[in-house]
Amino acid sequence: MSGDQALLDERGGGDSGQVAPVAAVRNITKRFPGVLANDKVSLDFRAGEIHVLLGENGAGKSTLIGILAGMLRPDEGEILIGGTSVKIASPRESLERGIGTVFQHVLLVPSLTVIENLMLGGPWWQALGSGAALKRFRELSALLGVEIDADALVGRLSLGEQQQVEIMRALWRGEKVLILDEPTSMLTPQGVRDLAQVMRRLRDKGVALILITHKLMEAYELGDRITVLRLGRVVGQIPPDRRRTMSEADTTDEVIRMMFGTRAEHERDAEILTGHGRRAHRHRAVDRSAPPRLSARALQTAAGRGECPLREVSFDLWPGEILGIAGVDGNGQKHLAELLAGQRPAAAGSLKLGEMDVTADRVPERRRHGIRYVTDERVGEGTVGPFSVATNLVLKEIGQAPYWRRGLSDWDFIHDHARVQIRQHDIRTPSERTAVAKLSGGNIQKVLLARELNEDAGVVIFNKPTYGLDLQNTRIAHDRILASAGRGMAVIVISTDLDELLELSDRIGVMFQGRMTGIVDNGADVERRVGILMTGAEAA
């Protein structure tokens, strides 16, 4: 960090009062039904500064970004660009004003080349790969300090490289402001380091960067200025000159105080947030002398286009054990989860539940045998959006007693059941008849947890169980996972968040290109070993 500080000092950018902001928001207020998403937010974004916006889900970060990116319009307040008030009515206008946004998920067309993707929003008469475009591409490559082949298919690039292309696209029509929305969530540790380098480089070239994150470590490592949002309001800011004098611990303390009030009451929140304290690895005694609850042997799947199939995956799982599955997204985790749940047939290999061979069983049989799957795609496949909470709670039991008798729906019983579940699992919903799509992500996850985790569950697969959840719901999900194992269930947790796996798992298996490249006991030095396995280094 010291080198960057030196750079900052040289430019004198540390003194926030002197440089006029490139972009700013003044008293921005945005209301959604029942929610005040932004409440008189005023912020400055300066050239040559990485401005970190920290906050939980629902703190208003995404709304603010949406307003700057031209996707939402504020109810009140104004946006200033270079000191003049402007209206941004569309994403295109935002880009034309030099504000580029890189969203959490890659929004490139995988079947097109890099240069084609970059030219997508351009004028229709311009020939693909024209001189002007290539010139701009080379300019931006130099600016970012990266080397990417302009004619490479985007689908062939690594996620980190795809993100670099995203950044180029965001800067394509001007490089005043670059917004990065949780950019590290999809990346390997190496990818994160590369991204940090690119960000610092852009900062030093005079771009105003806005980094959205909920990871405190990132905020500390990358941020020149840290702003904390809570419930739509700016609750505190650490300007660059103060930030430089503070140690990591001080910064963490101060930010957590802003986010939660006092520190003592929220020790665990802080731990989840910072990733500290998790270093106390979970390690419980699992009785491995007993026969395993679940045995996978050389499981393989057939892959569709753009999917990563499983290649000879084998493991054993004992009752009461939590097996974490680590790996960069898209290395076969999805197929593994779906195969175990019975949604996807095995092309080869066998799966045994205790003594029983369940390889040929599909979802209903496996569910009857106690195999449960909490999917990561809560909205995509986990629930039927327009259907009620009550219906979604019995979605996997349609036609079965006691909710259905001789094929006839007992709606009263289904609604009674739902009311009990809503109370037990603290699902925040106006009513059991409310369409599930109207619930927040955390509450939809509670619906899934309520549906999957009952007394009959013996094996539970959690796929990215806390993805997109806020702190409180993350904690609830973690508690439920630990409690499931505590009750003797055999648990698999698939996650791209290594910290989460370190906290929860007894062992951690690593997936790389469809193979389980290794399974290591959770303990000292496990991060390094997992990190090596994640890149496939030990695969051969």
* Residue 461 beta carbon to other proteins: minimum distance, rounded to whole angstroms: 12
Q: Is 364 an interacting residue with respect to other proteins (CB under 8 A)?
A: yes
C-alpha dist (Å) from residue 430 to 193, 426, 439: 44, 12, 9
Are the beta carbons of 299 and 313 closer than 8 angstroms?
yes
Question: Which one of residues 396, 419, 475, 529 is an interface residue with other proteins (CB under 8 A)?
Answer: 396
C-alpha dist (Å) from residue 495 to 40, 78, 508: 36, 40, 10
Q: Is 335 an interacting residue with respect to other proteins (CB under 8 A)?
A: no
Q: Which stretch binds other proteins (CB under 8 A): 323-331, 369-377, 483-491, 513-521?
A: 369-377
Q: Is 382 an interacting residue with respect to other proteins (CB under 8 A)?
A: yes
- Mask 338-357, x = binds other proteins (CB under 8 A)? ---xxx--------------
Q: Is 427 an interacting residue with respect to other proteins (CB under 8 A)?
A: no
Q: Is 33 an interacting residue with respect to other proteins (CB under 8 A)?
A: yes
Q: Is 109 an interacting residue with respect to other proteins (CB under 8 A)?
A: no
- Mask 433-452, x = binds other proteins (CB under 8 A)? xxx-----------------
CA pair distance 369, 341, nearest whole angstrom = 11
Question: Which one of residues 134, 159, 246, 363 is an interface residue with other proteins (CB under 8 A)?
Answer: 363
Instruction: Give the nearer residue to other proteins in terms of CB position, either 246 or 384.
Output: 384
Question: Which one of residues 390, 485, 489, 502 is an interface residue with other proteins (CB under 8 A)?
Answer: 390
The CA-CA-CA angle for residues 133, 162, 51, to 5°, reads 90
Of 312, 342, 317, 377, nearest to 513 (Cα)? 312
Q: Is 306 an interacting residue with respect to other proteins (CB under 8 A)?
A: no
Answer positive or negative: Cα dihedral of 63, 276, 374, 393: negative
Are the beta carbons of 168 and 140 closer than 8 angstroms?
yes
Q: Is 302 an interacting residue with respect to other proteins (CB under 8 A)?
A: no
Instruction: Give the nearer residue to other proteins in terms of CB position, either 131 or 304.
Output: 304
Residue bearing tokens 């175990």? 340
Q: Is 35 an interacting residue with respect to other proteins (CB under 8 A)?
A: no
3-state secondary structure 77-95: EEEEECCEEECCCCHHHHH
Q: Which stretch binds other proteins (CB under 8 A): 178-186, 420-428, 431-439, 510-518?
A: 431-439
Question: Which one of residues 431, 483, 524, 539 is an interface residue with other proteins (CB under 8 A)?
Answer: 431
The CA-CA-CA angle for residues 57, 42, 58, to 5°, reads 10
* Residue 304 beta carbon to other proteins: minimum distance, rounded to whole angstroms: 11
Of 168, 176, 144, 172, nearest to 46 (Cα)? 176
Instruction: Give the nearer residue to other proteins in terms of CB position, either 196 or 363.
Output: 363
Q: Which stretch binds other proteins (CB under 8 A): 92-100, 119-127, 432-440, 507-515?
A: 432-440
Instruction: Give the nearer residue to other proteins in terms of CB position, either 63 or 117.
Output: 63
Question: Which one of residues 408, 455, 525, 540 is an interface residue with other proteins (CB under 8 A)?
Answer: 408
Q: Where are the beta strands (DSSP E) in 265-338?
A: 294-300, 313-317, 322-326
Q: Which stretch binds other proteins (CB under 8 A): 6-14, 307-315, 325-333, 411-419?
A: 411-419
Are the beta carbons of 209 and 199 closer than 8 angstroms?
yes
Q: Is 415 an interacting residue with respect to other proteins (CB under 8 A)?
A: yes
C-alpha dist (Å) from residue 497 to 373, 412, 437: 19, 41, 26
Answer positive or negative: Cα dihedral of 181, 54, 441, 184: positive
Q: Is 197 an interacting residue with respect to other proteins (CB under 8 A)?
A: no
CA pair distance 203, 191, nearest whole angstrom = 18
Of 329, 23, 306, 310, nearest to 163 (Cα)? 329
Which residues of this chain interact with other proteins, rule CB under 8 A? Answer: 32-33, 72-73, 341-343, 362-364, 367, 373, 375, 377, 380-388, 390-391, 395-396, 398-399, 404, 407-409, 411, 414-415, 431, 433-435
